[in-house]
């Protein structure tokens, strides 16, 4: 995502989508997935009057981002929270509405780069995968979920074709010894995924590690709560911009945006009565994707789906 040596995916396009909402005096942007602060730094650098509230559940990310953004003084505020706590964060900041909310979903480069966090499958590390410091770890999931639950997690969140086979192997192997580090899990995946399947679709551990991360951090449930809260929080002219990297995440974003822009009149009505216009409009046509050039420079951009929505009138709230 972002970091001293990492440029966030689709950075210029994200800033361009936010620009109409935040280039006014006194504008406030919530960077709901602060990470290392790459998006926030770009916004604070390019818009002199904007204030950014950065939210992250990861204390380490907050510390690093705060140091990076210290030159901007009180124009930046770091908040330790999960992004579905957006209404509470705004209340604590004395705000009823904001001008923009940005979500860059998924795992940050910092979490991938710090071996002890257990997000990466390229080297042996403790199976943690928590974005914060509370709750069950990936090892807890592997060692306690039954085969049916493991199959569901791998199939739904990892879109893993061999979910049942992998789940059965995990249950069989943990009976000999509990899973504690990523290396043993990667070995199991190489053994269980047939060779022809291993040759396509990237690293064979990619889907399983993604699934475990999403389960450990309850990512879809958090997003399901956060999207309507963000839509409700924006003022007239305000925008919500979302980058997702997983089909289930993008589907939730699409559904939330479509619901928020739906007309509340019968479909066969030949005109829209005054006062019944949607309170929000879609800014992007469908989901925007990265260019081949950006993907070649940053392979993580290959799966990004970018959507944006804008409030055009005060009426109505998100569904």
118 in a structural domain: no
**Axis-axis angle for helices 206-216, 182-192 (nearest 10):** 130
3 in a structural domain: no
Residues 252, 199 share a domain: no
Taking residue 55's Cβ as centre, other Cβ atoms within 10 Å add up to 24
Question: Quick one: pLDDT at residue 244?
Answer: 95
Q: What is the largest CA-CA distance in the chain?
A: 69
For residue 249, which of 48, 105, 132, 141 has the smallest C-alpha distance?
105
Question: Quick one: pLDDT at residue 318?
Answer: 41
Residue with tokens 């249950």: 171
Judged by DSSP in three states, 162 sits in: coil
Residues 207, 227 share a domain: no
Question: Quick one: pLDDT at residue 115?
Answer: 43
pLDDT tens-digit map of 8-61: 999 999 999 999 999 999 999 999 999 999 999 999 999 999 999 999 988 888
pLDDT tens-digit map of 81-131: 999 999 999 999 999 999 999 999 965 544 444 444 444 555 678 898 887
Q: How confident is the model at residue 198 (pLDDT cuts 50, 70, 90)?
A: confident
Question: Quick one: pLDDT at residue 298?
Answer: 86
Question: Quick one: pLDDT at residue 5?
Answer: 44
Identify the sign of the CA torsion 154, 156, 160, 161: positive
User: How far apart are alpha carbons 192 and 188 in whole angstroms?
Assistant: 6
pLDDT tens-digit map of 125-161: 889 888 777 789 999 999 999 999 999 999 999 989 9
Segment 210-230 mean pLDDT: 93
63 in a structural domain: yes
End residue of a domain, out of 216, 242, 259: 216
285's tokens: 């046509």
Residues 90, 225 share a domain: yes
Segment 199-209 mean pLDDT: 79
Residues 167, 154 share a domain: yes
End residue of a domain, out of 148, 181, 216: 216
Question: Quick one: pLDDT at residue 319?
Answer: 36
Residues 89, 16 share a domain: yes
Residues 103, 50 share a domain: yes
Asked if pLDDT for residue 293 goes beyond 60, the answer is: yes
The annotated binding site is made up of 37-39, 56, 83, 104, 111
Residue bearing the bigger pLDDT, 1 or 158: 158
The boundaries of the domain holding residue 202 are 133-216
Question: Quick one: pLDDT at residue 199?
Answer: 74
Residues 162, 223 share a domain: no
pLDDT tens-digit map of 295-314: 999 888 999 999 999 999 98
316 in a structural domain: no
Segment 207-217 mean pLDDT: 91
The annotated binding site for S-adenosyl-L-methionine is made up of 37-39, 56, 83, 104, 111
Question: Quick one: pLDDT at residue 277?
Answer: 72
Instruction: Give the total number of structural domains in the chain.
Output: 2
Residue bearing the bigger pLDDT, 319 or 262: 262
Question: Quick one: pLDDT at residue 202?
Answer: 67
User: How far apart are alpha carbons 243 and 280 in whole angstroms?
Assistant: 19
Q: What CATH number should be reported for the domain holding residue 292?
A: 3.40.50.150
Asked if pLDDT for residue 164 goes beyond 50, the answer is: yes
pLDDT tens-digit map of 226-284: 999 999 999 999 999 999 998 899 999 999 999 999 866 555 555 555 566 789 999 99
256 in a structural domain: yes
Residue bearing the bigger pLDDT, 318 or 206: 206
Q: How confident is the model at residue 204 (pLDDT cuts 50, 70, 90)?
A: confident
300 in a structural domain: yes
Do residues 54 and 31 lie in contact, with contact meaning Cβ atoms separated by under 8 Å? yes
128 in a structural domain: no
pTM: 0.84
Q: How confident is the model at residue 206 (pLDDT cuts 50, 70, 90)?
A: confident
């Amino acid at each position: 995502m972002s970091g001293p040596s990492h440029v966030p995916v689709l950075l210029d396009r994200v800033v361009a989508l936010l620009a109409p909402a935040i280039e006014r005096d006194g504008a406030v942007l919530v960077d709901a997935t602060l990470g290392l602060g790459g998006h926030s730094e770009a916004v604070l650098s390019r818009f002199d009057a904007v204030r950014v509230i950065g939210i992250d559940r990861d204390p380490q990310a907050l510390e690093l981002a705060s140091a990076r953004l210290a030159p901007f003084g009180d124009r930046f505020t770091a908040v330790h929270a999960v992004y579905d706590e957006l209404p509470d964060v705004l209340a604590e900041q004395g705000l009823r509405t904001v001008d923009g909310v940005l979500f860059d979903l998924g795992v940050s480069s910092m979490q991938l780069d710090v071996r002890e966090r257990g997000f990466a499958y390229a080297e042996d590390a403790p199976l943690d995968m928590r974005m914060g410091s509370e709750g069950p770890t990936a090892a807890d999931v592997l060692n306690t979920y039954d085969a049916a639950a493991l199959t569901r997690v791998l199939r739904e969140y990892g879109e893993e074709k061999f979910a049942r086979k992998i789940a059965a192997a995990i249950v069989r192997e943990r009976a000999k010894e509990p899973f504690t580090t990523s290396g043993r899990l990667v070995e199991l995946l190489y053994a269980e995924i047939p060779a022809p399947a291993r040759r396509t679709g990237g690293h064979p551990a990619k889907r399983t590690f993604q699934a475990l991360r999403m389960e450990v951090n309850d990512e879809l449930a958090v997003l399901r709560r956060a999207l309507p809260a963000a839509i409700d929080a924006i003022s007239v002219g305000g925008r919500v911009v979302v980058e997702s990297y997983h089909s289930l995440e993008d589907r939730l974003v699409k559904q939330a945006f479509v619901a928020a822009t739906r007309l509340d009149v019968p479909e066969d009505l030949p005109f829209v009565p005054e006062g019944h216009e949607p309170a929000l409009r879609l800014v992007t046509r469908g989901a925007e994707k990265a260019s081949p050039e950006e993907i070649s420079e940053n392979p993580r951009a290959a799966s990004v789906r970018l959507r944006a929505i804008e409030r055009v009138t005060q009426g109505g709230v998100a569904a």
